[in-house]
Structure 1
Amino acid sequence: MEKKINKVLLLGIIFVAMNLRSPITAVGPLIGIISDDLILSGGQAGLITTIPLMSFAIISPIAPKLANKWTIEKTIFGALIVLVLGMFLRAIPQLTFLFLGTTLLGAAIAICNVLIPGLVKKEFPHQSGLVTGIYSVSMNLTGAIASGISIPLVRKIGLDWNVALGLWSILALTAFVCWLPQLKRQDKEVQEMTPQENSSIWTSTLAWSVTLFMGIQSFIFYVLVAWLPEMLVDKGLSTIQAGGMLSLLQMTLLPITFIVPIIAEKRPNQKSFVWVSFLLFAFGILGLMGNNMKIVSLSIMGIGIAGGIAFSLSMMFFNLRTTSAKQAAELSGMAQSIGYLLAATGPFLFGFLHDVTKTWQSSLIILLMMTSILLIVGLNSAKKRVI
């Protein structure tokens, strides 16, 4: 019986995960079209991606408290309702509804982002690497598909940009239905989740290293989700080709996000993964500074592998560096709050620097600097120890 319940829970986690990137990555290739239609500046366009990250930063610390009051299962269910509402509002082609809907879906995604690692640690204690891999692949696969088909939906099929974005509400509704069985679950351990250990989390140098690692890898990823297509269009690619390149980046993530958690869980430390991620990030960003499209393509794949490693490590650190599901949720809340607050500055800063300098070089130099910091905090996070 327990095995059947776990399968149903795993299916629910997969469908929830499928909604944690696609609502955001679907926007990146459409930013130019949305900007033209709504007459947005570069800074305003960057806010389309920045707003969800700000929601992540504000809502993440609240998520464990909501789970303490209503249980993880019911809290995620409520988040799915908010997600569907946010996606419907975002589909209304007006600036106010675009920002309001984006804010709501960002809040919903934040809750799920924080609570699922703790749920995985509690329900799959001996298979957390495997389940994290499945969860990560589900999230990144739909994220890649969303960025890859957004432009074809508009250019080839002829949908308006808001309709193309609104279609993703179907996936959110599917997750809502798949999560219904979890409302029957009653778990006392979840209800005992309290902020009593917050002081040890917030004063821990290890927790801050994990937090900064989470934030910097998110900073790099969301900058590229928002601006890589526009950057490549400036290099001479069509909008469809540029969207395909963003999809390529995310498709490269997929095998990495499945394999790395399984291997990393069994290693005494994860320093070698941090080094590989750093080197590939640096290679990829330097490659984007040039105009040789073969090198640019290889660079994008390198960034995809690096991002896959860094993201996987971020998710695994929540489990590997904690001793309980409660502590894992608290670390997840801290890391995703501060981390996404840091990441939220990325798309806006990237767009602002481009508006000022009329080139992408300054923005890419910022990414190189962030990559160096990623190495330092990553090596500290990768040591075998717990908070």
Structure 2
Amino acid sequence: MQPPDSKPQQQRTQPRGFMVLSILAVVLIGLNLRAGITSAAPLFLDLQEFLGYGAFVAALLPSIPTLVFAAAGLSTAWLARRLGLSGTILFALCLLSAGLAFRALPTTWALLAGTVAAMCGLALCNVSMPSFIRENFAQKTSLMTGLYTITMSLGATAASALSVPLALAAGSPTLGLATWSILAAAAALAFLPFMLMARADRPGAPATSGISPFSLIRTKRGLVITGLFSAQAILAYAIMSWLPTILISRSMAAADAGVILGVLQVMSIPATMFSLWLVNKHGMLRGAFFLTSISAAAGLAGLVWLPLSLAWLCAVVLGIGFSIFPLVLLVISFSGESSEETTAMSTLAQSLGYLVATSGPFGMGLLYSLTGSWTVPLVLLIGVTGVMLWLGVVASGYRRAVVQRVQ
């Protein structure tokens, strides 16, 4: 059996400059897709003290990304039919940059509004990227998915580690957050020539009627993939939102807590490479799901029962668990017969998945407010990893079926 990335395609050889721009686009977009989230996590307590908002806003703020991803993601297929896939991504990057910059205003409403706008941009990119990679790297889907998720981790690492120092240098946490708009603006400027070259290369591309994401929810595959995406998103966004706060509540310095979150993101890079190696060289998608799910459960258990001095070890093991994300993207990328069907599956999985995932960051904040302890929320997250493992095992069967079909 041929590996999935070597399946025959009827695809023209693209100019070298076009391919360089495509790879640059993947890298720059990936750098942005978690930086806007992890840059805020180490500053939540400082933002609350600086702006003076109450407990409800404090619980709502880390929940905004998943809520917006759920709502805005539904419009991606509609926008892609009107603006084209590359036009949708460029629009998303501009929206992301503007939203992040708006958070510089030292008011609670500006923080919330800017976060909503920025997360709308991220939502559009999140849904579009599996189709973008499939369309531009049909024979290197796994490789480019790995590069994409690795750059996401690099961006998240830099944002979590540099967030507090940037805020101190800028003189306020809101100005510190706004500095990340520069990275998004750079991605938009770099993506523009790719979009122009892509349109020139495909001047007569026919408009597509599109596939409704809601038609896929009636299928078992659609439900399983959506459930799998939901479970990993609950875990990822709950931890990215609250890990620094958990550590700060246990007497760790804010800057050190941001570094621990950075350690988690850094560890996800070699873990992602290893997980994709298991899939590409040995066809062990099911084994990769076992590795990532069990590692996530172990890292959460360590946060509950290990001393604070071993928080770095918990972050390392959780980083291995976070490498489940590219595995889910691979399942989505190969879930359709065309880029339109892949976009529809991505829209369904991410929109409903992020809506469900809102229970992660919001639920953790609410449970902590009610119990005064992080133990109950973390134990519940361990249960989520069990669901994640079960759905991953089921989805690994879909992967084999698709590989056989494209031979």
Same fold (TM over 0.5): yes
1:120-141 CA-partner distances (Å, limit 9, x unpaired) = 1121111011111111111110
- What does the per-residue CA deviation read over 1:295-323, in whole Å, with 9 as the maximum and x for residues that have no partner? 43222211111111x11111111123322
Which AA in structure 2 matches 1:298? L
**Equivalent of 2:233, from 192, 211, 218?**
218
Q: Distance in 2 between matches of 1:366 and 1:375?
A: 15
Q: Which amino acid aligns with 1:324?
A: S
Structure 1 gap ranges (5+): none
- Is residue 2:286 matched to residue 1:271? yes
Contact kept? 1:216, 1:371, Cα under 8 Å: yes
Shift of 1:188: 7.3
CA distance in 1, matches of 2:348, 2:314: 32
Contact between 1:55 and 1:110, CA under 8 Å: does it hold in 2? yes
Mapped partners of 1:314, 1:191: distance in 2: 30
- The equivalent of 1:382 in structure 2 is 396
Give, in angstroms, the shift of residue 259 of structure 1: 4.0
The AA in structure 2 aligned to 1:378 is G
- What is the aligned partner in structure 1 of residue 89 from structure 2? 76
Matches within 5 A, 1:165-314: 165-184=177-196, 185-186=198-199, 187=202, 192-196=207-211, 198=213, 200-268=215-283, 270-308=285-323, 310-314=324-328
Cα distance per residue 1:146-176 (max 9 Å; x no partner): 0011112234x36310111111111011011
* Residue 234 of structure 1, CA deviation: 2.0
Q: CA RMSD in A?
A: 1.9
1:161 has 2:173 as partner: yes
Q: CA deviation at 1:257?
A: 2.4
Contact 2:101 2:179 in 1 (8 A): no
Paired position in structure 2 for 1:325: 339
Q: Does the CA contact (< 8 Å) of 2:333 and 2:342 recur in 1?
A: yes
Select which of 120, 134, 147 maps to 1:121. Answer: 134
- Structure 2: stretches of 5+ with no match in the other structure: 1-13
- 8 Å CA contact 2:234–2:357 kept in 1: the answer is yes
CA deviation after TM superposition for structure 1 residue 378, in Å: 1.1
In the alignment, the residues of structure 2 paired with residue 133 and residue 166 of structure 1 have an alpha-carbon distance, to the nearest angstrom, of 28
Match for 1:154: what amino acid? Answer: A
CA distance in 1, matches of 2:305, 2:96: 39
Amino acid in structure 1 at the alignment position of 2:231: I
Deviation per CA, 1:323-349, whole angstroms, max 9, x where unpaired?
221111111111110111111221111
1:143 to 156, 165, 174: 156
Q: How far apart in 1 are the matches of 2:218 and 2:20?
A: 37
Question: May I ask how many residue pairs the two structures share in their alignment?
Answer: 385
2:305 aligns to what SS in structure 1?
Answer: coil
The offset of 1:362, in angstroms, is 0.9
Q: Distance in 1 between matches of 2:204 and 2:354?
A: 28
Matching residue of 1:358? 372
User: Partner letter of residue 296 of structure 2?
Assistant: F
- The answer to whether the 8 A contact 1:206-1:380 is kept is no
For residues 44-85 of structure 1, the C-alpha deviation after alignment (integer angstroms, 9 at most, x for no partner) is: 123222112111101112101111111111111111221121
Q: With structure 1 as the length reference, what TM-score do the two structures score?
A: 0.94
TM-superposed CA distance for 1:352, in Å, is 0.8
- Answer whether contact 1:26 1:146 (CA < 8 A) is retained: yes
Q: Using a 3 Å threshold, how does the CA distance of structure 1 residues 255 and 159 change in structure 2: closer, same or farther?
A: farther
- 8 Å contact 1:68–1:191 — kept in the other structure? no
Partner of 2:10: none
